[in-house]
Structure 1
């Protein structure tokens, strides 16, 4: 059975980019609550950004080893649908909040996805990203897609170095449930390109 690959556009910082993502037909947007990131937004800014989203576009909040209070503040004020944890958060930490979550995994040759999925058994999916020491995602680099199992017990989301030029081949090679892009659809760091967003989503529908 062939499924439609879901698309998340991450690192939205501007209202016009939020509207462009929705207009292009993305399934989800990502807001980054990690201050060192060039794509980070404040809670106050995020509250305003989500006002530009129509129905049926999921909002995801991305954290990297956050304080509990920050996660709760984002949940309460931004009303996000999904939490995305990109650091060394334990399964117990991820599941303590009143929201579904996904866990990002920095992929290496010896990464044991079966063991990880057993620990994070209640996650809505595992997001597979490129491993780069000291950089929790947003590397703009792809990892070896042959490491992605073609059949798995929970949804897998592919991230890391995806662009309009390679996303179709990435999907064909991995068969993942969803793809997640940030830098690959930007005009510059933190500023999205409406044309690249549309091109990316068009390539996921081929």
Structure 2
């Protein structure tokens, strides 16, 4: 009599893969961290080869380049270019444009405190301005005085006009008697710097001399 065979299932213990996976992960991480990065490079550095492509040829006789019949070119425009030169200490400033020349002298260079009497150094600087006005063959000269905002506005107007007058008289000693002068005292108006600081107030205390540019 045969016995019924009962199938037997052999249970297997799962493989211990934890340490192996951890080791593999560590190795991969090490490779990732130690793998050399690709070298950085500029797209176009100072040593890049020059472009040798020949320039595009244009046929000057091409009909497409011609202006339509009856058309006229617009009149040429001359741009007003300004050149500004200032001494290192800021005592003197010169501005040149196509139309005029303007000098700005700080009041401390020309006058004593709250004074309209010119000093010796001031006359030498004004003589240089007169020489430039002669070189430009100036027929008219503007002399404008300015102050800071300390004190009353009325006092600033009077003092700035007195200083402008003093500079004009010094210019007249060297310029032709036929030169016309426009003399004004603006006081604290038209500041070129912030009056909140002494440095700014110093820049605002000035006399400007300007005349047309011809040379």
- Does TM, normalized by the shorter one, top 0.5? no
Q: Which structure has the larger Rg over C-alpha atoms?
A: 2
- TM-score of the pair, normalised by structure 1: 0.29
Q: Which has the higher strand share?
A: 1
